[in-house]
């Protein structure tokens, strides 16, 4: 269950966590630690609770990938170490590998970023529209037909924009600020993760 941070809302807590991660990347220009990264990612899963029962499966899928990275943090210090291991063993794209799960979690972060961007682009935009567009852009290209169909059906069960905001303890006035904080913090983090693959000549078309 969600523990309220001093800043109050779940969205603010998520924004805070990713800002801290982005800062560690920027100021110490350090390799991202597996533990710091997976901790921030696990915080995101609180948002699923506000989307309703149909997204239980998406939540389990996301959480299992994040938990795998938390598990990996016991053996690997940095995300670079994970990639090094999988490159050496030719398991980067192998189902269940830490590198593959990192790639999946990164898609989840990007999905939320795209959703917030849609959400901010106009207050006419319903949650269902915003989520469908974001999913189509970010995740659908990498998902099977069956998964895309299931997600499409689930979209119809999403709460309304107003319901979501009220469940998140936000308003049309307060939410945009937190969403922007998350979007801005995520940009360098997503870029950093993509570079872990690209710098090793691994394409991102999977």
CA 35, 37, 42 angle in degrees (round to 5)? Answer: 90
Toward ligand 1PZ, which CB reaches closer, 34 or 161?
A: 161
Determine the size of the site formed for ligand 1PZ (CB under 6 A): 22
Q: What are phi and psi of 32, to 5 degrees?
A: -70, 135
148 binds ligand 1PZ (CB under 6 A): no
Toward ligand 1PZ, which CB reaches closer, 32 or 102?
A: 102
Toward ligand 1PZ, which CB reaches closer, 4 or 61?
A: 61
Exactly one of 143, 148, 180, 200 binds ligand 1PZ (CB under 6 A); that residue is 143
Contact 104, 139 (CB under 8 A): no
Q: How many CA atoms lie within 13 A of 174 on its CB side?
A: 14
Say which residue the tokens 């852009």 belong to: 137
What DSSP string runs through 123-143? Answer: TT--HHHHHHHHHHHHTGGGS
How far, in Å, CA of 125 to CA of 118, rounded? 7
61 binds ligand 1PZ (CB under 6 A): yes
Toward ligand 1PZ, which CB reaches closer, 22 or 104?
A: 104
Residues near ligand 1PZ, by CB under 6 A = 44, 47-48, 51, 58, 61-62, 65, 95, 100, 104, 107-108, 111-112, 115, 131, 135, 139, 143, 147, 151
């Amino acid at each position: 269950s969600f523990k309220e941070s001093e800043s109050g809302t779940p969205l603010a807590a998520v924004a805070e966590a990713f800002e801290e991660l982005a800062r560690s990347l920027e100021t110490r220009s350090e390799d991202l630690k597996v533990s710091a990264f997976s901790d921030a990612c696990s915080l995101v899963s609180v948002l699923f609770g506000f989307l309703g029962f149909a997204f239980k499966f998406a939540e389990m899928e996301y959480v299992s990938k994040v938990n795998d990275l938390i598990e990996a943090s016991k053996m690997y210090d940095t995300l670079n170490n994970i990639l090094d291991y999988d490159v050496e063993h030719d398991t980067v794209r192998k189902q269940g590998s830490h590198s593959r799960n990192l790639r999946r979690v990164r898609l989840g972060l990007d999905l939320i970023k795209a959703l917030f961007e849609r959400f901010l682009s106009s207050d006419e935009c319903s949650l269902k529209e915003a989520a469908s567009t974001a999913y189509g852009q970010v995740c659908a290209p990498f998902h099977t037909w069956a998964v895309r169909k299931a997600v499409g059906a689930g979209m119809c069960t999403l709460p309304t924009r107003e319901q979501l905001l009220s469940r998140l303890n936000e308003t049309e006035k307060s939410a945009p600020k937190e969403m922007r904080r998350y979007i801005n913090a995520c940009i360098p983090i997503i870029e950093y993760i993509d570079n872990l693959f690209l710098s090793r000549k691994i394409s991102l078309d999977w």
